[in-house]
Structure 1
Amino acid sequence: MAESTLSAGILTNIFFQIVQSPLNIALVGIIVFLVYNIFKSRNNNTPVRPPVPELPKLKKRDFTVEELKKYDGTQEDGRVLVAVNGNVYDVTRGKRFYGPGGPYAAFGGRDASRGLATFNVTAAGEGYDDLSDLSTMEMDSVREWESQFKEKYEFVGRLLKPGEQPTNYSDEEDEPPTGTSDKPKDE
């Protein structure tokens, strides 16, 4: 009997200690709120979004500016291609950035080199852009972006200059062909 009276006295004492201080009441409220959220999140049966089906690998080929425009993410398969410094990359994995409604949607299906060099999302040109008027610093920026695209996305071909003939790619080529013209005007 003495034990139950002692434990009741301790609990009463703890209760009065909590109630007497507004800070303690606030802390207990926060603790109750956090514990409630932990249990609520464990019992929450949110539907899991089905994974986006993987598109088949695109066969390497060269693109004209007009052909590239078709790959802006609005077509049936939703594929998005972006050209950087004359090389075309399949950025479909980054569709939330480069596809319709994304922050860089202006680059989808276009040559993004000038926009990346000048940090201007709306600078995706309509025709072929030879980049010859970019400064050395801007060209360095384009090359840096290009190396990031090489690491993250699949190379699918080159952007053809007007009148240029396409390259025949073998299935074993993984890297863009060397010799793309990226020399700025002032070098």
Structure 2
Amino acid sequence: MFNMAESASESGNIFSHIMSEIIESPLNLALVCLIAFLIYKIVKSRTEVPSFTPPEPTLPKLKKRDFTVEELKKYDGTQEDGRVLVAVNGNVYDVTKGKRFYGPGGPYAAFGGKDASRGLATFSVSVKTEEYDDLSDLNSMEMESVREWEAQFKDKYDLVGKLLKPGEEPTNYSDEEDESSVATTVGGAGERTKED
């Protein structure tokens, strides 16, 4: 019985000794406050209900048409509707659903409203020219990279037309024309670009 009372007395003394060490030392007191604050933040973050951010409203599908370099510049995501278009290898894609990447503030915002072909070919997130770029000086490896990127864009985004060379006439896309013939027409423009 005496051992239990002695053990309880010793544990009480240890606890009071620890408490006096914490209270008497400003550094220890600050550390205990910091630890308590961090535990509070951890517990609070686990119990917080995540906030729901509604998705951006979807825009109507863009009617197929061809774009000059100047016309394409208008679709960089800063206009009222926020639409973002990007040209790759002579084809123009509506990348608005990837706005967090290609829109203002995104990691690839430099490509919004521009021809991204050279940047994608050279793994550079910048646009080297504001004029039409025929890509004729790219080597075969770089052109293969452009084609791979183009395939990814085709799979992920809507094809909305082609990028016109200076002096080139736009294609007349009729409402009745089915998408496969438009893809063939636009794909053909991409092929001509590779051979130029």
What is the TM-score with the length of structure 2 in the denominator? 0.70
Q: Residues 45 and 168 (structure 1 numbering): CA distance in 2 closer, same or farther, change over 3 Å?
A: same
Matches of 1:102 and 1:40, distance apart in 2: 27
Q: Match of 1:179?
A: 188
Equivalents in 2 of 1:97, 1:104: separation in Å? 5
Aligned residues: 149
* CA 1:56–1:151: 2 relative to 1, 3 Å: same
How many angstroms does 1:51 deviate by?
1.8
State the SS of the aligned residue for 2:194. Answer: coil
Q: Deviations over 1:143-180 (max 9, x none)?
A: 00000000000000000000100001134225252322
Q: Are the structure 2 counterparts of residues 176 and 103 from structure 1 closer, same or farther at C-alpha, using a change threshold of 3 Å?
A: farther
How far apart are the structure 2 equivalents of 1:127 and 1:105? 18
Structure 2 residue aligned with 1:145: 149
Q: CA, structure 1 residues 176+155, in 2 after alignment: closer, same or farther (shift >3 Å)?
A: farther
| Structure 1: unaligned runs, 5 residues or longer | 1-32
Indicate if the aligned counterparts of 1:89 and 1:157 stay in contact, CA closer than 8 A: yes
Percent identity over the alignment? 71
Larger Rg: 2
Whole-angstrom distance in 2 between the partners of 1:160 and 1:124:
18
Picking from 67, 70, 81, the partner of 2:85 is 81
TM-score scaled to structure 1, two decimals? 0.73
Alignment of 1:126-137 (within 5 A): 126-137=130-141
| Alpha-carbon distance between aligned partners in 2 of 1:108 and 1:124, rounded to the nearest angstrom | 14
Q: Which has the higher helix share?
A: 2
Write the deviation string for residues 124-152 of structure 1: whole angstroms up to 9, x where unpaired: 42000000010011000000000000000
Q: Which runs of 5+ in 2 are unaligned?
A: 1-38
Report how far residue 50 of structure 1 moved. Answer: 1.6
Secondary structure of residue in 1 paired with 2:150: helix
Distance 1:52 1:67, change over 3 A: same
Pair 1:116–1:176, CA change in 2 (3 A): farther
Q: Is the 8 Å Cα contact of residues 87 and 159 (structure 1) preserved in structure 2?
A: yes
1:1-187 matches, within 5 Å, as: 37=43, 41=46, 43-171=47-175, 172-174=178-180, 175=183, 177=185, 178-180=187-189, 181-183=192-194
